[in-house]
Amino acid sequence: MRWPGVLEYFADYLPVTSHTPLITLNEGNTPLVESYQLVEKLGAGKLYFKFEGMNPTGSFKDRGMVVAVAKAKEEGRAVVMCASTGNTSASAAAYAQRAGLSCIVLIPQGKIALGKLSQALMHGARVLAVQGNFDDALSIVRYITSHYPVALVNSLNPYRIEGQKTAAFEVVEWLGESPDYLALPVGNAGNITAYWKGFKELKEKGKITSLPRMLGFQAEGAAPLVSGKPVSNPQTVATAIRIGNPASWKGAIAARDESGGLIEAVSDEEILQAQRMLAEEEGIFVEPASAASFAGVLKKSEEGFFTGRETIVCVLTGHGLKDPDIAIKQGEGRIEEVGASAEEVVEILGLEREHV
């Protein structure tokens, strides 16, 4: 099947004009994987995983980035710039190359997962490691892009939100209706804003009759939307949501309140446990931030929040290979050394011969 990518497939829903270059890496059209095992633990009716790690650069950021970069090119920009905890920079770097633009990324020094950094470097971006956190990097980028001829491609750019809302369209196209709950990790809060916008647009157009309740989950050490005030020194193992002052604060609160949903916090331990459960029990490898959605749903289920008849979609925002360090730490001590002989391997495995 030919999949033309987000700009072409969803053109009617996006700010696409006859002048918009239809660049693509054939992003979007990611799988909605049905849970076999974890659904039992939850006691939910149906549980699905929207696996956004299957996008070309390994995260949902590609959906919005393709729109932002195409519009920057349409508007005659030659350079795009972003602050990033990692995935935005990987995506910006790839799509900038695709469009023939150059790309500058500002990352918080030492706080970016190795896979993501390798992508920005391979795609030829100019990478500046800022001696500060994500929020510091973003305020520098906001200043520069408003005073110099450089296009901002962070999710403050409304084209990013437009592109990201297409994930909601795909969920509905797959299920034939809206799920009862949509759970996702929340960092800078662009994605929860985008999904909510997508669902609302479908309802306005009469494509769905009900809207999902939005369940946003932040990491305990970086949960400004839960406490109601910015966090000056956010801390979490889930670097993609290590954000103390979300740019789309208002969008997230509106999504929560209009949908009758919630935004709560999960601990790093709960996030890492959920990451292992997804990998071991469903065969889906995601980065730590992505596991916050399932960690949150699991926690709510233990609190008796669900009735057992609902359809729940957990958005899994990024691929596990993005952050190999954390994954290897999770498996520490699991590698067994053995001599290079069949006998030794048989012995260590404790295998018994079959008697025929």
Q: Which residues bind ligand PLP (CB under 6 A)?
A: 59, 61, 87, 155, 185-191, 240-241, 287, 289-290, 317-318
DSSP for residue 353: P
Do residues 252 and 263 lie in contact, with contact meaning Cβ atoms separated by under 8 Å?
yes
- Compute the least distance from the CB of residue 217 to ligand PLP, in Å: 10
SS3 (DSSP) at 218: strand
- Compute the least distance from the CB of residue 347 to ligand PLP, in Å: 42
- Compute the least distance from the CB of residue 31 to ligand PLP, in Å: 16
Nearest residue by C-beta to ligand PLP? Answer: 318
- Closest CB to ligand PLP among residues 90, 151: 90
The answer for 76, left when phi > 0, alpha when psi is -120 to 50, beta otherwise, is: left
- Closest CB to ligand PLP among residues 134, 310: 134
How many Å apart are CA 33 and CA 41, to the nearest integer?
A: 17
Do residues 142 and 176 lie in contact, with contact meaning Cβ atoms separated by under 8 Å?
no
How many Å apart are CA 127 and CA 224, to the nearest integer?
A: 28
SS3 (DSSP) at 198: helix
Sheet strands (E) in 6-60 = 32-34, 46-51
- Closest CB to ligand PLP among residues 30, 188: 188
- Compute the least distance from the CB of residue 164 to ligand PLP, in Å: 7
- Closest CB to ligand PLP among residues 9, 196: 196
Do residues 76 and 23 lie in contact, with contact meaning Cβ atoms separated by under 8 Å?
no
- Closest CB to ligand PLP among residues 275, 317: 317
- Compute the least distance from the CB of residue 310 to ligand PLP, in Å: 23
